[in-house]
Structure 1
């Protein structure tokens, strides 16, 4: 299935690694870590119902996921209805959409969606319905047609520690949230040291978008209170704010979705750690081989010197 994480292994022993090669590998691993951070896992919602391998639904799901990767290289939002014709069994029908954050370039959107597609099979294996939110993009599919249906149910929230008795901060925060509530599509706002952004799904009308963001802003205030930074994701929109320098320093909620995110991060970390360990072991093996070879030469030279010295040989 396209949604499963792909891993590549090699059975060849890494040999004769010089310092330039080793340095290049460490740079590559650092860049890999940067790409992982660029597509941070936010949350996933998975249906309890599961489909069978090689079923009509799996075939249509693979088509849907492949179409997302292709389409996201051109547009940041799209919807799909696959297998809903009279010639297809109802069990194979799939409705879906994807959307990238409004400030992402097309190439970044495509990379984010490819990352989302690769994570679907890991976080929600064989699920009939999935909502997957990464830092810069969103993916959803279901068997039932949800497209265009209002949905303001809360999917995820995250609140930082509180800011106490900071009147200026709360005034600035309220200014940002009021501005975000008036967004149509995607909007970035700032006031002093407080920043934020908000976004609605592409199929919402301006009035429905405003209504959804109104709910999101209300939940930010009621659920996160005086937090210095907060995120609230609803079914069709989200709103976020933070004090400058505070973004990314949240104390996450104890939720199942966060556990999934940690699992993904642990898997990535273990794979990267194994790669580093293989490189180091190979480098040490080479260094050890050179050292043993040098010791062997020195011992041989010492033996020759003993045999050639008459005073030493006589003892």
Structure 2
């Protein structure tokens, strides 16, 4: 659905959220918004909804600083807020805090609708008025293709191999995997892949999400880049190394 038209009330809500954001600076948090989806149901009571939403964001913010992942619930009927946020596995904690701050600043654009989700290139956030933590597939699942260049057969083969590696490895690695496979020969090309499941999912649900997401994302080939934005997971492949370096500490 389209993001609702601006209003004075919504603007004030967004300003409040921005003022609560942490002050931080980092290197590669990948802040680009890939997609934002808003609920189709309006909130019932602004007096209850806004404090619930802010409370959820504050609780999750503390968890994100410590572990790159957070869930929270704030109960005031009928506008109870359930929230989840997670950074992708290659982000450092400082980068994660920055990415979450961006998501937290953008998602309130869904107001006065009572829920929404946002996919950034470095993190994900979702807020609803019902518990959704075990969901891994949904009607809004889709792939998004980059259209910079088309790639040859060798790159496509290696991209498929790297994607399959990530799909196999992630479910038993806390839902996260990265892979890269180089194209043989003088082209010096490499396929880079990221796979991330939300930590609220079981191993089986994570595997099912990634299998569906990867099958969808493969539809982007022969384009040089593709993403899968799924209810329970995120995937990306590219011919450009978008992954953060593996920490040696």
Which of the five TM-score ranges fits, normalised by the shorter chain? 0.7 to 0.9
Question: Is 1:76 matched up with 2:74?
Answer: no
The equivalent position to 2:52 in structure 1, one of 56, 60, 63, is 60
Aligned position for 2:92: 105
Question: Is 1:147 matched up with 2:137?
Answer: no
The equivalences for 1:200-215 within 5 A come to 200-215=197-212
CA distance in 1, matches of 2:165, 2:231: 21
Deviation at 1:93, TM superposition (A): 1.3
Question: Is 1:244 matched up with 2:240?
Answer: yes
- The total of aligned residue pairs comes to 214
Residue pair 1:154, 1:232 contacting (<8 A) in 2 also: no
- Post-superposition CA distance 1:135-162 (Å, at most 9, x none): 2111111112212133244445321346
Query: Which ranges in structure 1 are unaligned for 5 or more consecutive residues?
Result: 8-31, 248-315
Question: Is 1:191 matched up with 2:197?
Answer: no
Instruction: Choose between structure 1 and 2: higher helix proportion.
Output: 1
TM-score by length of 1: 0.61
The equivalences for 1:42-61 within 5 A come to 42-51=34-43, 54-61=46-53
- Cα distance change on mapping 1:217 and 1:54 into 2, 3 Å: closer
The equivalent position to 1:170 in structure 2, one of 133, 141, 156, is 156
Query: Which ranges in structure 2 are unaligned for 5 or more consecutive residues?
Result: 1-11, 20-24, 183-189, 243-249
- Post-superposition CA distance 1:13-72 (Å, at most 9, x none): xxxxxxxxxxxxxxxxxxx9x979841111111113222674212211111111122221
Aligned position for 2:247: none
Instruction: Choose between structure 1 and 2: higher strand proportion.
Output: 2
Secondary structure of the corresponding residue to residue 179 of structure 1: helix
Aligned position for 2:117: 131
Runs of 4+ residues deviating >3 angstroms: 1-7, 34-38, 152-156
Deviation at 1:187, TM superposition (A): 0.9
Residue pair 2:29, 2:96 contacting (<8 A) in 1 also: no
The equivalent position to 1:217 in structure 2, one of 180, 200, 214, is 214
CA RMSD of aligned residues (A): 2.6
CA distance in 2, matches of 1:3, 1:140: 16
Query: Which of the two has higher C-alpha Rg?
Result: 1
